[in-house]
A = this chain, B = another copy of it.
Amino acid sequence: MATAPTTVASETLTLPGPLQLDCGRQLDRVDVAYEAYGELSPARDNAVFVAHALTGDHYLASPHPITGKPGWWARMVGPGKPIDTNRFYVICANVLGSCMGSTGPASLAPDGKPYGMRFPVITIRDMVRAHVALLDALGIKRLHAVVGGSMGGMQALSLAANFPERASAALVLAATARHSAQNIAFHEVGRQAIMADSAWQDGDYYASGNRPEKGLAVARMAAHITYLSEAGLTGKFGRNLQDRAEKTFGFDADFQVESYLRYQGISFTDRFDANSYLYITRAMDYFDLAEEHGGYLANAFRTTKARFCLVSFDTDWLYPTAESRNIVHALNAAGAPVTFVELSAPYGHDSFLLEVPALDRVVTGFLDQ
């Protein structure tokens, strides 16, 4: 099947100037690692920017260099797929603060040593600033669409709100306009798990050869539960035992769900930096699009040129449908064109990444306009 898109660029751009940040500091040198698929039209008007989630990266539709697995949205992006690389020039960039090529806490500071916790605390808007700088470098004045799920949806909203001329459309999946107390609480558990790991060493672990893998694995496990639905976990695992007929009366992973979670935790540490996890979760917790715009979410969208599509999933308890509806109300109040659908899917928050044919139809239809 000729469904894998051709990667036309897998590059790292060093921004031409310093990046000013919400915290008041600036980063003098910022690298942005990105991939692109498809062909940019002569008018440069067919670009679709896909923003990734917390633990994602720019390996959107090409194999991941560490895990060897297909790109995280290979099912959605490619020739003839909903984000059709025969029609669109599709770009995905590793976010600022991450660890797959863009500048983050594991990068070298001007003194030649890794930033560690000297890296500035960044925001979702700072990530978007880096994306816009990339678009500038690529000569793309306005996107056909910005697309993202979860934290990617936050970036899509932030781009449409803060750079109102830069996107003709925003497709926002399983997202929220601000982190709730419960969202913050789960992230704080993850951060404390990392910081409790004696290998963390106040974030200064890069030269030690000993990374806080145990803490990062626990953080990932806690977060992973929030990505799945209770019914989905029950359907997939229930109380089934793992490769045994009887409980062992011990602390091995007797239950399949334990074994699965442990695997999720451990495998994550192969590809992710613990300090990046701290910084990116912090950026998500700080995200409050209304607060950035005088306390009224509608104000965020007064000048946007984008039309919007919001999608939520009925089993998503991390960012439930009410969060999307809240955004839709604000868009209505701002007079922005918006369509909204709650899709039924059993996978919880992760539904946007998984096999949900109804989502494919929504994405295809919205980008087609």
Contact = CB atoms under 8 A, between A and B. Distances in A.
A192 interface: yes
A288 B255 CA distance: 13
B257 A225 contact: no
Interface string A17-45: 00000111000000000000000000000
B178 A239 contact: yes
B181 A193 contact: no
Given A197-B196, A233-B182, A247-B286, A188 B121 contact: no
Given A189-B221, A192-B221, A249-B23, A181 B255 contact: yes
A234 B192 contact: no
A189 B222 contact: yes
A120 B257 contact: no
Interface stretch (A140-148, A210-218, A338-346, A356-364): A210-218
Contact of A117 (B198, B230, B251, B278): B251
Contacts of A285: 255
A116 to B, nearest CB: 12
Given A189-B218, A217-B196, A262-B188, A181 B251 contact: no
A249 B120 contact: yes
A282 interface: yes
Contacts of A257: 181, 184-185, 188
Given A185-B258, A185-B261, A121 B250 contact: yes
A234 B196 contact: no
Contacts of A253: 188
A58 interface: no
Contacts of A247: 286
A-side interface size class? 35 or more
A71 to B, nearest CB: 27
A179 interface: yes
Nearest to A220: B189
Interface of chain A, main secondary structure? helix
Contacts of A228: 182
A180 interface: yes
Contacts of A255: 181, 184, 188, 285
Interface in A283-336: 285-286, 288, 291, 317
Contacts of A217: 192, 196
Nearest to A193: B218
A97 interface: no
A136 to B, nearest CB: 26
A258 B261 CA distance: 24
A265 interface: yes
4 interchain residue pairs of minimum CB distance: A196-B214, A23-B249, A181-B233, A121-B249
20 contacts: A24-B249, A117-B251, A120-B249, A121-B251, A180-B234, A181-B230, A181-B257, A182-B230, A182-B233, A184-B239, A185-B258, A185-B261, A188-B258, A188-B262, A189-B225, A189-B261, A192-B262, A193-B193, A195-B251, A251-B278
Given A188-B221, A192-B262, 16 more contacts: A120-B249, A179-B239, A180-B234, A181-B238, A181-B255, A182-B225, A184-B239, A185-B221, A185-B261, A188-B261, A189-B218, A189-B222, A192-B218, A193-B196, A196-B217, A317-B317
